[in-house]
Amino acid sequence: MLRFILRRSGLALLVALTVSFISFSLLFLSGDPAIAIAGESANAQDVAAIRELYGFDRPMLVQYGDWLWSALQLDFGDSYYFRLPVADLIADRLSVTMTLGVCGILFALLTAVPLGVIAAIRPNSIIDRIALFLSVAGQAMPSFWFGLILIVVFAIKFRILPASGADSWRHFILPTIVLGYYAMPAIMRLTRAGMLEVLSADYIRTARAKGASEGRVLFKHALRNAIIPVVSLAAVQMGFMLGGSIVVESVFALHGAGYLAWESIGRNDLPTVQALILVFALFYIVFTFLSDVLNAWLDPRMRSS
Amino acid sequence: MTAIPDAFEIVGPTPAQQLRKRMFGHQGFLIGAVILVVLVAIALLAPVLAPHDPYAQSLGDRMLRPVFMGGTWDHPLGTDHLGRDYLSRLIYGARVSLLIGAVAAVISGVIGTALGVAAGYFGGRVDTVVTFLINVRLAMPVVLVALAVVAILGGSLSVVIGVLGLLLWDRFAVVMRASTLQIRGREFVAAARAVGCSTPRILLSEIMPNIVNNLIVVVTLEMAHAILLEAALSFLGVGVQPPTPSWGLMVSEGKNMMLFEPWLVLIPGAVLFVLVLAINLMGDGLRDVTAPENRN
C-alpha cells in the first residue's frame, strides 16, 4: 500500500510539473509579452525597459525555473491589472469556488445516488425512465443556458431567488443546481449499473435466503458495495467541476476563482491566468490522487496496476 | 451418393444485415439519427431555407417577437437586437456548430487514435509515455485553457476548431488504447505477424477494423462535447466572434434583453440542446448495437 502511494504521488508530481510548464508556456504563445504589458501607446524604449524589468530577456527555461521556484513558495508574481500579488487575489476568491464545488457535488450525490438506486431496484419502472431522461438531458444541457433559464424562472418570473452575487446562501442555490446537474448523469449511471451488478451477486441471494429484510439487504449489503466506485468518481468529478465552474460563475456573477479567470483572460492578465490554470490543475491532480488511493485501499487488486 | 456442395452456403443474415436490423430496432439511435440528419440537411441547405440574409441588419425592426408570441410570418422567430432575422441566424448557426464539432472531432480523433493504438499495440515505454500524456491532458482545465489560448491567438472559426481539436483527444486515446489491448493478443494478429506482415499493415488491416466501432462511438460523443464547448466559449465572448451566427453567441447577445424578451435566450439554447441530445442519443445507440455483449 505504501509503495502504491509513493508511486502514485510520484506520478502526480510529474503531471503537476508538466502542467506547470504548459501553463507557463502560454505566456510565450502571444509572441512578446512585454509589448502586451506596455500597451498600445508604448514606444520601443518602454518595451525594452519592461522586458528587462520583468526579465523577459532571459532564456525561457531560466524564466520557467524562476517562476516555478517562486510558485513553490506561493508567489505567482503580481497581476498586470490589479498590481497586487496573484496569490492573494486567488486566495481571496477561492472560498467562493470551493463552496460552490462542495455544494455542487453534494447536490449531485444527493440526487443521483437515490435515483440510481431506485432505478436499479425497479428497472424499466417510471422512476427508472425519469432517471434515464434526466441523465440523457443533463449530458446535452449547455450549462450557461440552463443557468439563464433558472434565472428567468426563479429570479425574474417568481422573484424568489437572487440572480447574481454571492452575499448569502440563497445566492448559491441556482449555481449549485447548475453545477451539480453537470456532474449528476455520470454518478447516476454508475450507481445504477453498480447496484444492478451487486444485486445479482451470490451474497445478496445468501442474505435474502437467510431471511434478512429487504431494506437491510439493499442498504447494508448492496449499496455499501455499489457506492465504492461512486465515491471515487465523485472525487474526480469534483476536480472537473472546479475547472468547469468558470462558466457557472460568469453566468451568476459569482466572484470566485473561475470568475477571476474569465476577467483576467479578458484583461490579458497573464500571470493570473497562468496561476489559475495551475491551481485548477492541482485540484484535479489532488482529487484523482485521493480517489486512486481510496480505490487501492478498498480494493487490493488496484494496487498492482 | 449424396451431392456435396462445392461451397458452404451462408445461412441466415450476414453480420452487416444483423447490425442494420439492430440499429433500426434501437429507439434512441433512430430518434437521434433522424434529428441529426434533419439538422445536417438544414445546415447544408441554409442558403435555400433561410428567409433572410443572416447578417442583414434593420435597425427599424429590432427585437420583433416570434410568430407564436404575436409576431408576423415575415420573421417567424422574430429578430435580434440589431434587427437580424432570428430564424436565418439559427439556420446558419447550425453550419457553425456542425462544422466545429465535426472538424474538431476528426482532429482529436486522429491524435487520440494514433496515441491510443500505439500505446495499446507496442506497450512498454510507449504505453508509459502515452498514459502520462493522457494524465497531463486530463489535469488541464479544458474550458480555462481553451479560453486563454483563444483569447491570446484571437477568436476565429479556425482557432476555435484547432484549440478544441488539440484538447479533446483524451477519450479517444483511452478507449483506443483499451480496445487495442484486447485485440493485440488474438490469434489473427499473431498469424499476421507470423506470415511477415509489416507493423503498419497489421495496425491498419488487422487492428483498426476491429476497433473502428468503438472509434465511431467516441467520435459522436466528442463531437457533441466540442459543440457544447464552442457554444460555451462563444457565450463567454472568447470563441467565434460577431457577427458570425453562433448559437452560443446568440444566447450571449440575448442575455442583456433576457428580462423582457426571454425567447432571445430560450430559442438558440433549445436548438443547441436538441442537436447535442441527438448526437448523444445516436452515440449511445451505436454503443449499444455494436457492443458484442448486448447481442442476443
Query: In this structure, what CATH number is given to the domain that contains residue B123?
Result: 1.10.3720.10
What is the radius of gyration, based on Cα positions, of chain A? Answer: 24
Same domain, A102 and A168: yes
CA B269 to chain centre: 17
Q: Please state the domain count of chain A.
A: 2
Question: Are A239 and A280 members of one domain?
Answer: yes
The band of B112, judged by pLDDT with boundaries at 50, 70 and 90, is: very high
Which of B148, B269, B273 is facing A273, going by the closest CB pair?
B148
Are A244 and B235 inside 8 Å of each other by CB?
Answer: no
A148–B236 C-beta distance less than 8 A: no
Three-state helix/strand/coil letters over chain A: CHHHHHHHHHHHHHHHHHHHHHHHHHHHHCCCHHHHHHCCCCCHHHHHHHHHHHCCCCCHHHHHHHHHHHHHCCCCCECCCCCCEHHHHHHHHHHHHHHHHHHHHHHHHHHHHHHHHHHHHCCCCHHHHHHHHHHHHHHHCCHHHHHHHHHHHHHHHCCCCCCCCCCCHHHHHHHHHHHHHHHHHHHHHHHHHHHHHHHCCHHHHHHHHCCCCHHHHHHHHHHHHHHHHHHHHHHHHHHHHHHHHHHHHHHCCCCCHHHHHHHHHHCCCHHHHHHHHHHHHHHHHHHHHHHHHHHHHHCHHHHCC
Stretch A278-303: mean pLDDT = 85
Shared domain for A66 and A91, answered yes or no, is no
pLDDT of B295 strictly over 60: no
Which residues of chain A have a CB within 8 Å of the CB of B281?
A: 136
**Using the beta-carbon criterion (under 8 Å), do A26 and B143 form an inter-chain contact?**
no
Q: How high is the pLDDT of residue A44? A: 77
Average pLDDT of the residues in A65-82: 83
Q: Evaluate whether residue A176 is within a structural domain.
A: yes
The structure's pTM equals 0.89
User: Domain for residue A109, yes or no?
Assistant: yes
- Please count the CA atoms within 13 angstroms of the CA of A33 that sit on its side-chain side: 21
Per-range mean pLDDT, top range of A59-68, A75-84, B260-269: B260-269
CA distance to partner chain A, nearest, from residue B46 (Å): 24
Mean pLDDT of all residues belonging to chain B: 87
Query: Is residue B2 in a domain?
Result: no
What domain count does chain B have?
1
A101 falls within a domain: yes
Confidence of residue A39 (pLDDT cuts 50, 70, 90): low
Residues A97 and A238 in one domain: yes
The predicted pLDDT at position A61 comes to 81
Q: Same domain for A199 and A261? A: yes
Are A125 and A154 found together in one domain? yes
**Best residue in A145, A149, A247, A274 to probe B by mutation, most B CBs within 10 Å?**
A145
Domain stop point among A24, A47, A72? A72
Instruction: Say if B14 falls within a structural domain.
Output: no
Residue B296 confidence (pLDDT): 40
Q: Dump pLDDT digits (tens) for A248-288.
A: 999 998 888 999 999 888 888 888 988 999 999 999 999 88
Question: Which range of residues forms the domain containing residue B178?
Answer: 20-295
CB-CB under 8 Å, B277 with A144: no
Residue A47's domain spans which residues?
2-72
Question: Above 70 in pLDDT, residue B67?
Answer: yes
In a domain, A81, yes or no: no
Q: What percent of chain A has pLDDT over 90?
A: 26
In a domain, A77, yes or no: no
- Same domain for A161 and A55? no
Phi, psi of B79 (to 5 degrees): -130, 160
Residue among B141, B262, B273 whose CB faces A277 most closely:
B141
Co-location of A68 and A90 in the same domain: no
Do A127 and A182 lie in one domain? The reply is: yes
Residues of A in contact with B145 (CB under 8 A): 23, 26, 277
Query: For the segment A148-178, what is each residue's pLDDT rounded down to a tens digit?
Result: 999 988 888 888 888 777 778 888 899 999 9
**Minimal Cα–Cα distance from B62 to chain A, Å?**
21
Whether A272 and A196 share a structural domain: yes
Confirm if A251 and A147 have CB atoms less than 8 A apart: yes
In a domain, B240, yes or no: yes
Q: Report whether pLDDT(A294) > 80.
A: yes
CB contact (8 A) between residue A140 and residue B277 = yes
Task: Count other Cβ atoms within 10 Å, centred on residue B194.
Answer: 9
Identify the pLDDT of residue A108. Answer: 93
- Inform me whether the C-beta atom of residue B224 falls under 8 Å from chain A C-beta atoms: yes
Using a CB-CB distance cutoff of 8 angstroms, which residues of chain A are in contact with residue B39? none
Query: Which chain A residues contact residue B265 at CB under 8 A?
Result: 145, 148-149, 152
| Mean local confidence (pLDDT), B231-236 | 92
Does a structural domain hold residue A78?
no
A79 domain residue, yes or no: no
Domain contains A80: no
Cα separation, B16 vs A87, in Å, equals: 59
CB contact under 8 A, A142 and B272: yes
CATH code, A272:
1.10.3720.10
Q: Are residues A155 and A199 in the same domain?
A: yes
Residue of A245, A265, A272 for testing the chain B interface, max B β-carbons within 10 Å? A265
